[in-house]
Copies of this chain bind each other. A is one copy, B any other.
């Protein structure tokens, strides 16, 4: 009945979770294929197998959502992924742009005891190095009120709490501009012309930030 899943099966569940989390609608076969960089036909195959194991609700041509046991597994993977990311940055001094790939492997290590002890060792962190919330051992996320930097009114004081894009080049770029988690920002000016904004960083430097970047930074008012 409850035999352990393969890494591949786990990756499908995680992808479906992320797709459904955003839209709250069933994920399409094509969406899943795109997310996992595979073909629609392969996805259909796998969906049948996962439905057989009662991990997803799958209706032909209608898309897929997770069952509660599927969701439990998916959140456990996200929990492990984010805890390992904290370990890699905080204990092994990796940069926030380097940890994703390694955590993709580490998240498949099977031992809930390991996960829980790791969490304790790291002092029960609530967010990963990118500002994403770490679910607790029951799978509950601690969502936080956060807004994209692009949507903040002029002269409001905010701090960076996360990013909505995890690609290495983007993160390296932010690092260069000193736009790291916890940085305090105030929007000084906003340019109609290209939707870029001028922000002060930590009350010292001032930077022009493109609309694209501002849309991928999460901030919180202080």
Cβ-neighbour of A93 out of B91, B92, B110, B117 (below 8 A) = B117
Minimum CB distance partner of A91 in chain B: B121
**Cβ-defined contact, B105 with A117, below 8 A:** no
Please report the total number of A residues contacting B with Cβ < 8 Å. 19
Bound Cα distance A61, B193 (Å): 76
**Assembly stoichiometry (copies):** 2
Minimum CB distance partner of A88 in chain B: B114
Minimum CB distance partner of A117 in chain B: B92
> Chain B residues near A111 (CB, 8 Å)?
101-102, 105
**Cβ-defined contact, B102 with A109, below 8 A:** yes
Cβ-neighbour of A92 out of B94, B101, B105, B114 (below 8 A) = B114
> Chain B residues near A101 (CB, 8 Å)?
111
Q: Does A33 reach chain B (CB closer than 8 Å)?
A: no
Q: Does A20 reach chain B (CB closer than 8 Å)?
A: no
**Cβ-defined contact, B109 with A94, below 8 A:** no
**Cβ-defined contact, B121 with A102, below 8 A:** no
Bound Cα distance A102, B111 (Å): 7
A91 to chain B, nearest CB (A): 6
Per-residue B-contact encoding for A79-112, CB less than 8 Å = 1, 0 else? 0000000001001111000100110011011110
Bound Cα distance A77, B94 (Å): 22
Q: Does A214 reach chain B (CB closer than 8 Å)?
A: no
> Chain B residues near A88 (CB, 8 Å)?
114
Q: Does A198 reach chain B (CB closer than 8 Å)?
A: no
A210 to chain B, nearest CB (A): 31
> Chain B residues near A117 (CB, 8 Å)?
92-94
Minimum CB distance partner of A94 in chain B: B117
Q: Does A118 reach chain B (CB closer than 8 Å)?
A: yes
